[in-house]
């Protein structure tokens, strides 16, 4: 306890400690005589006088208090402390934030008629437009072998672990091992897609990815997997974990190339990883190439149909992605189509699986193209707000006034979609602010697409009375 300066000292203590008991903090031992000038009941007058002057702790005096009188004295000290202690300064309250409330009618939507797409009559098929959050599939789906379309996930995992920027940055070096070279020999015998590899050959990450994605090289799929994760089982664990993260609930991988029938997926799941991969510049660059030159193998061409300059003939606006064929999987294709709607670029993805017919890869690509073109044609431009249109109300400075958009804006959307509206308050308004004062921002969004417009008040805020 602290004895505050100015508090009346206690002159006596009831129930003193028994003779011979050490008084805590007194510095004396049991049986020691009381120092000259001191009684056993409390401090000397000189000590009390010094304590009043200095305000210092008097440990002997305080510890010596006991009984009812001591408790009463301690309570008095506590009260005195509470009375004389200055109140701690509080933090300044921040100014209140303006409140924006949206009008219900300010959230526009497109007509709800869902267009009919030209779904193939065999196999599975799906369409996705990532930017507006639209996806659809031909019907109920069952996991099936997907052949080399597996390599989209292989490339995606590698690029997640070892990102490459757009352009020509080569990335880390990969030394081809004897096991890698032996994979090439095995692929040749079993007629698997591959590129010639030699033990000791050094490839860059970009070269290895280009060879795997453009020429669908199985041997490079295994080389990249072991380089990335240290072993094929470790890489497969990454592939399946990533599939789970992307929501690919009907997908499971047992190899890095897709040659094994146990690597299964669905058309809708394939578009989930294709959408994520196409957002990576190095992947999008690779899958758009009709051919690539490798150090040992030389120039090798793509198996993906319909690419400009490809062996199956160029198709405008086709920008990838990946085809696949095995006897177990049949033919399949994932296609990326770059459309333009209302002057805005729009990437449309389509996938088909399990096709059986002559020239199956080209046929699968044509099915995808028809789906993508029809889907792009069904996308509409939605006028989400018009300049001067009331969006909501701002409440601030004790008053509420309507707010309007200062400019017009539109977004692309699929029939039936509704634009999401988020209002973001602006600066603190003041009483008397005139009509037209900035009042925040309206953010309209559909899928990943969004547009913002400035808001302004339509009336003067009342002046403070």
Contact 201, 295 (CB under 8 A): yes
DSSP secondary structure string, 90-156?
A: PPPPPPPPPEEEE-GGGS-B---PPPPP---SSSEEEEEEGGGTEEEESS----EE-GGGGHHHHHH
| Tens-digit pLDDT profile for residues 24-37 | 333 433 344 444 44
Contact 411, 379 (CB under 8 A): no
3-state secondary structure 171-190: CCEEECCHHHHHHHHHHHHC
CATH superfamily for 124-378 is DD-peptidase/beta-lactamase superfamily (3.40.710.10)
pLDDT at site 68: 46
Other Cβ atoms closer than 10 A to 423: 22
- Indicate if the pLDDT at residue 16 is higher than 60: no
pLDDT band at residue 431 using 50, 70 and 90 as cut-offs: confident
- Indicate if the pLDDT at residue 88 is higher than 70: no
- Indicate if the pLDDT at residue 369 is higher than 80: yes
pLDDT at site 408: 96
- Structure-token pair, residue 143: 């996991």
SS3 451: strand
Share of the chain above pLDDT 70, in %: 76
Per-chain mean pLDDT for the chain = 81
Question: Which one is predicted more confidently, 439 or 93?
Answer: 439
| Tens-digit pLDDT profile for residues 381-392 | 999 999 999 999
pLDDT band at residue 312 using 50, 70 and 90 as cut-offs: low
- Indicate if the pLDDT at residue 14 is higher than 90: no
- Indicate if the pLDDT at residue 13 is higher than 50: no
Least confident of 103-112, 233-242, 355-364: 103-112
pLDDT at site 191: 64
- Indicate if the pLDDT at residue 280 is higher than 60: yes
Contact 451, 411 (CB under 8 A): yes
| Tens-digit pLDDT profile for residues 204-250 | 999 999 999 999 999 999 999 999 999 999 999 999 999 999 999 99
- How far is residue 250 from each of residues 120, 149, 237, 253, measured CA to CA in Å? 20, 15, 16, 10
pLDDT band at residue 175 using 50, 70 and 90 as cut-offs: very high
pLDDT band at residue 71 using 50, 70 and 90 as cut-offs: very low
SS3 456: strand
pLDDT band at residue 313 using 50, 70 and 90 as cut-offs: low
- Report the sign of the C-alpha dihedral through residues 380, 384, 387, 389, in that order: positive
pLDDT at site 93: 58
How many Å apart are CA 253 and CA 256, to the nearest integer?
7
Nearest CA-CA partner of 394 in 313, 454, 307: 454
Nearest CA-CA partner of 121 in 141, 138, 136: 138
């Amino acid at each position: 306890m602290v004895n505050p300066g100015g508090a009346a000292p206690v002159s006596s203590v009831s129930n003193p400690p028994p003779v011979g008991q050490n008084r805590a903090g007194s510095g004396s031992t049991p049986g020691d005589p009381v120092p000259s000038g001191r009684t056993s009941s409390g401090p000397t007058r000189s000590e009390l006088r010094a304590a009043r002057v200095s305000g210092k702790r008097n440990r002997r005096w305080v510890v010596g208090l006991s009984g009812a009188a001591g408790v009463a004295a301690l309570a008095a000290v506590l009260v005195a402390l509470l009375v004389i202690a200055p109140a701690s300064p509080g933090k300044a309250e921040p100014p209140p934030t303006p409140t924006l409330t949206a009008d219900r009618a300010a959230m526009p939507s497109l007509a709800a008629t869902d267009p009919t797409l030209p779904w193939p009559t065999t196999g599975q098929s799906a369409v996705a437009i990532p930017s507006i959050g639209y996806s659809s599939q031909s019907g109920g789906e069952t996991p099936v072998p997907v052949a080399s379309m597996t390599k989209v996930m292989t490339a995606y995992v590698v690029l997640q672990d070892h990102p490459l920027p757009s352009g020509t940055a080569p990335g880390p070096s990969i030394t081809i091992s004897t096991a890698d070279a032996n994979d090439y020999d095995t692929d040749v015998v079993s007629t698997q897609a591959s590129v010639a590899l030699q033990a000791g050959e050094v490839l860059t990450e970009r070269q290895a990815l280009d060879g795997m994605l453009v020429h669908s090289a199985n041997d490079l799929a295994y080389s990249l997997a072991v380089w990335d994760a240290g072993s094929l089982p470790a890489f497969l664990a990454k592939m399946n974990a990533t599939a789970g993260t992307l929501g690919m609930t009907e997908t499971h991988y047992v190899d890095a190339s897709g040659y094994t029938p146990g690597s299964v997926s669905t058309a809708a799941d394939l578009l989930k990883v294709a959408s994520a991969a196409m957002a990576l510049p190095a992947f999008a660059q690779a899958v758009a190439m009709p051919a690539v030159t490798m150090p040992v193998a030389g120039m090798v061409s793509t198996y993906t149909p319909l690419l400009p300059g490809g062996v199956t003939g160029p198709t405008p606006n086709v920008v990838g992605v990946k085809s696949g064929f095995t006897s177990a999987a049949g033919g399949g294709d994932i296609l990326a189509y770059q459309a333009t709607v209302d002057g805005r670029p729009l990437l449309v993805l389509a996938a088909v699986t399990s096709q059986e017919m002559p020239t199956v890869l080209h046929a699968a690509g044509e099915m995808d193209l028809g789906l993508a073109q029809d889907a792009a044609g069904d996308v509409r431009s939605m006028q989400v707000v018009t300049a001067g249109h009331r969006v909501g109300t701002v409440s601030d400075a004790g008053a509420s006034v309507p707010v309007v958009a200062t400019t017009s804006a539109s977004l692309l959307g699929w029939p039936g979609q509704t634009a999401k509206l988020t209002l973001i308050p602006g600066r603190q308004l003041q009483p008397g602010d005139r009509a037209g004062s900035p009042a925040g921002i309206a953010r309209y969004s559909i899928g990943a697409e969004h547009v913002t417009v400035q808001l302004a008040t339509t009336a003067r805020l009342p002046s403070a009375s």
